[in-house]
Amino acid sequence: MTTVDKPIGFGRMHRKEDARFVRGRGTYVDDVNLPGMLYGAVLRSPFAHARIVSIDTAAAQAHPKVKAVITGQTLEGLKLAWMPTLSQDTQAVLATDKVRFQGQEVAFVVAEDKYAARDALELIDVEYEPLPAVVDARRALDPDAPVIRDDKEGQTDNHIFDWGAGDEAATDAVFASAEVVVAQDVLYPRVHPAPLETCGAVADFDAVTGKLTMWCNTQAPHAHRTVYALVAGLPEHKIRVISPDVGGGFGNKVPIYPGYVCAIVGSIVTGKPVKWMEDRSENLMSTGFARDYHMRGEVAATRDGRIRALRVKVVADHGAFNGTAQPTKFPAGFFHVFTGSYDVEAAHCAVTGVYTNKAPGGVAYACSFRITEAAYLIERMVDVLAYELDMDPAELRMKNLLKPEQFPYPSPTGWEYDSGDYPRALQLALDMAGYAELRAEQASRPAGGPLMGIGISFFTEAVGAGPRKHMDILGLGMADGAELRVHPTGKAVLRISVQSQGQGHETTYAQIVAEELGIPPDDVEVVHGDTDQTPFGLGTYGSRSTPVSGAATAVVARKVRERARQVASAMLEVDPGDLEWEKGRWYVRGDHAQGRSIQEIALAAHSSLELPEGVEGHLDATTVYNPPNLTFPFGAYICVVDVDPGTGQVKVRRFVAVDDCGVRINPMIVEGQVHGGLADGIGMALMELIAFDEDGNCLGASFMDYLLPTAMECPSWELGETVTPSPHHPIGAKGVGESATVGSPAAVVNAVLDALKPHGVRHADMPLTPAHVWRAIQGRPLRT
């Protein structure tokens, strides 16, 4: 049974948020109801690619409950028909010239209730002239491919960017002299973050004050506010973005969606607050998806299994508008961490981004800026090499892992991994799994019977973007602020720029303050998700909260602690240099009994106590944390599967996950994060796929088709940990939220392919559904 303490600092502790969440008392966007509020609904394109001939809204306008019908033409008049994406592209708010993916926003109806709004959508008559669609990213640059973004001046094809990292010539030279070279096409198919709560907003424009208040379940309230300010030409203080309780983000709630802008315009036009909430199908077919990476990996190695070089070429499907949210310098995110956890001489990656007639995105889904794709590729390639060399995949990994003494490790593609002890983590996972016994069991299986597979994955993540010098989104540097105020009674309020979507920030950030100041976590209120109430910062995605805002919290608490030292010195009438700190208290060196608690100091700081020259009263501080480097969590995962060769059905029997995220603030929350990510991994490996037919019709726009894992598909997770603190993070913590999603798909796929090895199957693409597995056994793998 899990033990739970009431730690004053780091340790297992129930989430403070649970009190409202488990009682169903959270406040989500859809719970916001304002007097006189109207409801919006979006008319969406039935075609993936079509020219708009005409839009007739007369019948909808005549509906007795309809207050406004907004089209691209309306928005053109306001210069709002197009908006910037977070990747410096443009995206149609409501289509004017063409529709470019099925589900694209064409018109917006505002009505007295949501049913009338939806009914009125059916009264809008749009005449389309269908065009051929580009569905396969690998065909997007064919000379005869229809040009999707003909709205962009000078755009004559579907090319978005070419980007690469590493030393191509050095890599080619190693390949030319390599004893063994293996190559493999590896697809990471399009999947969807599918958060429990879909996207939505309530926009309330006050014509008297000229202030817009926007409740919206965004992961990046401050970044959104700045984009709205730039687009609308309003000062930031006239825009308040409130991101209340959010039911899961996973990257899906990073982009700005047309529905948000339409709700704002709807409120301006009608003078009333307007709510817009999308339904599940709208969320699945039109909002930021993830992955869609078509990769060709190559490994150069020695015959005895030393990996010497890696090469990869990628075609990245970004959909119809480049709506991904990557730091400006890195259009393929952090994909160049694809050398993973191995000591290689040289590496090179080249990524080409293309437009297709699909929903825009390529956003996270718990993938830390394309690291999930990178980790999957390298971990698949290592198994492909093991297959080729007929070598044990654990032995092959152990042979090539970076050694502890190599840290900080400069990678061949430009990273500096901060810390790690990889062999220790892998050995722990092997021991926990009983690897030798599992292999013995596998070897004793009679031929022709049920199959058993053991899959390993060892991943390195890079989380915590900035530093701001190298990383920005739309020119906004990736640093985050924090403000801490300790009130006279010793209770504190911490204001942070990141936003929680269920990760428990109200608990863990209070624990950081508790660790630094000794104020119990229950006495620390964490304020987040409201731009009027919190300092500027870039938001929560890519597991950056702990590495950046967690650090900001520790730093600001230390500033308060230093102020408290000055106040304590006045209280105790000693020199500040003669004071020593223990958690929650300054005392006189050499006289432990002579001290003052942080609560006593807080009261004195607000009293008439005479303070030394230059020392301000009150007990508060602010900071902006600009991370010097990313943090590099890592982990070793082992999955055991049983495969029925008759049906292709895969059952995950066991899953061992050893994670190292440096110092753990709240191990219970960390374990919850890992559990969720592992379930994600099973889903992506075995079930999840946003599929399209050749006309670009989206085939997976409901949970009947887009399958998510449930407890039925998940084993009882077996978790282990090692702790290698980050040397540059104030409390030695690294991010963890995405680790398990990054690391687990490869372990599951490697396990299934290990089971299929007797049938000569070297690779098959995700999702490994029963049909897919069965066909692979028959020697006729499906192409996703």
Q: Under DSSP, is residue 440 helix (H, G, I), strand (E, B) or coil? A: helix
Q: Which of 336, 664, 763, 772 binds ligand CDP (CB under 6 A)?
A: 664
Query: Cβ(486)–Cβ(519) under 8 Å?
Result: yes
Residues between 77 and 116 that touch ligand CDP (CB under 6 A):
none
Q: How far is the CB of 472 from ligand CDP (least distance, A)?
A: 18
Residues between 268 and 327 that touch ligand CDP (CB under 6 A):
none
Task: For helices 739-756 and 770-777, give the axis angle rounded to 10 degrees.
Answer: 40
Residue placing its CB nearer to ligand CDP in the complex, 357 or 540:
540
Q: Which of 55, 661, 674, 749 binds ligand CDP (CB under 6 A)?
A: 661
Q: Does 193 engage in binding with ligand CDP (CB under 6 A)?
A: no
What order of strands is seen across the sheet that includes strand 480-486? 524-527, 492-496, 480-486, 619-625
Tell me, rounded to whole angstroms, the distance of Cα 554 from its chain centroid: 23
For the window 508-547, what string marks contact with ligand CDP as x by the rule CB under 6 A?
Answer: x-------------------------------x--xxxx-
Residue placing its CB nearer to ligand CDP in the complex, 318 or 734:
734
Q: Does 735 engage in binding with ligand CDP (CB under 6 A)?
A: yes
Q: Does 669 engage in binding with ligand CDP (CB under 6 A)?
A: yes
Residue placing its CB nearer to ligand CDP in the complex, 336 or 664:
664
- Give DSSP secondary structure letters for 610-621: PPPTT--SSEEE
Q: How far is the CB of 110 from ligand CDP (least distance, A)?
A: 34
Residues between 214 and 233 that touch ligand CDP (CB under 6 A):
none
Residue placing its CB nearer to ligand CDP in the complex, 667 or 770:
667
Smallest CA-to-CA distance from 480 within 468, 493, 494 is with 468
Alpha-carbon span 76 to 78, nearest angstrom? 5
Q: Which of 554, 638, 736, 766 binds ligand CDP (CB under 6 A)?
A: 736
The first and second tokens of residue 161, run together, are 């960017």
Residue placing its CB nearer to ligand CDP in the complex, 57 or 500:
500
Q: Under DSSP, is residue 257 helix (H, G, I), strand (E, B) or coil? A: coil
Residue with tokens 């982990």: 635
Q: How far is the CB of 631 from ligand CDP (least distance, A)?
A: 9
Determine which helix (DSSP H) or strand (DSSP E) holds 353, and give its type and residue range.
strand 346-354
Q: Does 769 engage in binding with ligand CDP (CB under 6 A)?
A: no
Alpha-carbon span 468 to 623, nearest angstrom? 15
Q: What type of residue sits at position 613?
A: E
For the window 316-355, what string marks contact with ligand CDP as x by the rule CB under 6 A?
Answer: ----------------------------------------
Residue placing its CB nearer to ligand CDP in the complex, 362 or 542:
542
Q: Does 45 engage in binding with ligand CDP (CB under 6 A)?
A: no
Alpha-carbon span 100 to 3, nearest angstrom? 53
Q: How far is the CB of 696 from ligand CDP (least distance, A)?
A: 33
- Give DSSP secondary structure letters for 560-584: HHHHHHHHHHHHHTS-GGGEEEETT
Q: How far is the CB of 716 from ligand CDP (least distance, A)?
A: 21
Alpha-carbon span 694 to 320, nearest angstrom? 16
Residue placing its CB nearer to ligand CDP in the complex, 48 or 290:
290
Q: Which of 673, 722, 724, 741 binds ligand CDP (CB under 6 A)?
A: 673
Query: Cβ(654)–Cβ(718) under 8 Å?
Result: yes
Smallest CA-to-CA distance from 144 within 157, 161, 162 is with 157
* Footprint of ligand CDP (CB under 6 A): 503-505, 508, 540, 543-546, 550, 661-666, 669-670, 673, 733-737
